[in-house]
Amino acid sequence: MGVSRLDVFYRRLLLTKLFIGGWGKPEDLKRIFEFRKLIGDREKCKSLVPNDYPVYINKTEELADCHVQEGFFISPLEHLVPGILPQEAIKARFQFIVPKRWQKNRPVCIHLAGTGDHFFWRRRTLMARPMIKEAGMASLLLENPYYILLLPLTTTSRSSLKNVSDLFVMGGALILESTVLLRWLEREGYWPLGMTGISMGGYMASLAVTNWPKPIPLIPCLSWSTASSVFTTGVLSKAVNWTQLEKQYAINSRYEEEIIKLLEYCGVSVPALSQEYRILLRLLSQLYEYSDWKKYPCILSSLRLHTLTPLGGYNTHGRRTDAAERCRPSLHKESISFMKGVMDECTHMANFSVPVDTGLIVVVQAKEDAYVPRTGVLSLQEIWPGCEVRYLRGGHISAYLFKQNIFRQAIYDAFDRFCVKYPNLH
């Protein structure tokens, strides 16, 4: 199956760059990786969020068919990994859309935000309000920690995360914040409860459900088993600021010396740069800082496209080689490998607990999705035996624009399946 031309064309229209700040601070990556080892084990996480964790409603609006409540709580990530969240994201905000009349039971589906889904309007209009009309189902819309309107432009630009580490912080926050909301909804007497999301929201909903200790409907739409392929082989890889990432990876030995060690335990293999090459890159970095880089186009070309063999090397004919001859393509490949390693570490579903009942999972995926490649990665059926995967014709963008009704039907089906299987699980 090929990839959608619309996906490729749409991505070309967008000028935003991803990860313009680079990888993020090595110490932040270390902290979130260490926390991932904890949160990836459901048994170890049972006491991370108290059952009576405080949640507050501070505004209520009445519409024709529903009540819209706005609320907030302090993200548990701030307590568990202090200082890792932006100051503006410490307070988690949500919108709760509740039907005036319930059709059956009091079902609530939590919707996590996809890329660019700022605030609540898009999810409320395309999913929550139709779900009230079609199924009498309430929706709780959690705001993404990095899509808060109060965040300064230096932290995030439009829908683009500044650092690679921000994506992992976001995941940790949303896992814990989803737990807070599920427990709050249980206390308030709502049932059954489930989770969904589209694209990145589907990834985050999947991560959150791996941490929930009970059977729960999960409907991830247009997402798959890991985010690594999204940023290394999908169309979004063209938007990644590889120049900045390659430079940081090459000149900062902490990424290799400290971060790669944290990846080794899960079998990730990331190549190492030679010490001689690191020395040369640091010298070139200083040259970049204090000189007119445009005067050195040959060095710039070599730096971006090649990595060196040990200095003073010889070629296959026994002649001493100059800098250009001692180069071979690899720095870009090494940066991609490092990206794959850190992405798999924090987003690969195989690194997290299997949901309690995979039979309650209905995955909706587009056959020609160019944003979320499925080639070369473990399938969700392999990681979660028993889950259902429904394939749509077309790509990522066309599915998002025209197939929201299919996403909603998958939600209804998963909730019905839960009610049949667990009628007394309140």
Return all residues near 58 (Cβ < 8 A) that are at least 6 apart: 70, 71, 72
Model pLDDT, residue 7: 83
Q: Starting at the edge strand that comes first in sequence, how are the strands of the sheet with 108-112 ordered? A: 56-62, 66-74, 91-99, 138-142, 108-112, 193-198, 218-221, 362-366, 388-392
Q: What stretches in the chain show pLDDT beneath 70?
A: 1, 15, 148-160, 253, 255-258, 261-329
Model pLDDT, residue 256: 62
Token output for 313: 């090397």
What is the pTM (predicted TM-score) of this model?
A: 0.84
Alpha-carbon span 136 to 144, nearest angstrom: 25
Alpha-carbon span 94 to 73, nearest angstrom: 9
Model pLDDT, residue 148: 64
**337 contacts 270 by C-beta, under 8 angstroms:** yes
Q: So where are the chain's domains?
A: 5-267+337-422
Distance spanning both ends of the chain, measured CA to CA: 43
Alpha-carbon span 368 to 346, nearest angstrom: 25
For residue 236, the SS3 value is: helix
| Whether domain 5-267+337-422 has CATH 3.40.50.150 | no
Alpha-carbon span 311 to 319, nearest angstrom: 13
| DSSP letters spanning 177-234 | HHHHHHHHHHHTT-BSEEEEEETHHHHHHHHHHHT-SS---EEEES--S-SHHHHHTS
Model pLDDT, residue 103: 92
Model pLDDT, residue 262: 66
Alpha-carbon span 366 to 355, nearest angstrom: 23
**170 contacts 144 by C-beta, under 8 angstroms:** yes
Model pLDDT, residue 224: 96
Q: How crowded is the C-beta side of 303, counted as CA atoms within 13 Å?
A: 26
Alpha-carbon span 103 to 132, nearest angstrom: 9
pLDDT in tens, 115-132: 777 789 999 999 999 999
pLDDT in tens, 41-76: 999 999 999 999 999 999 999 999 999 999 999 999
**374 contacts 383 by C-beta, under 8 angstroms:** no
User: Backbone phi, then psi, for 314, in 5-degree steps?
Assistant: -125, 150
For residue 325, the SS3 value is: coil
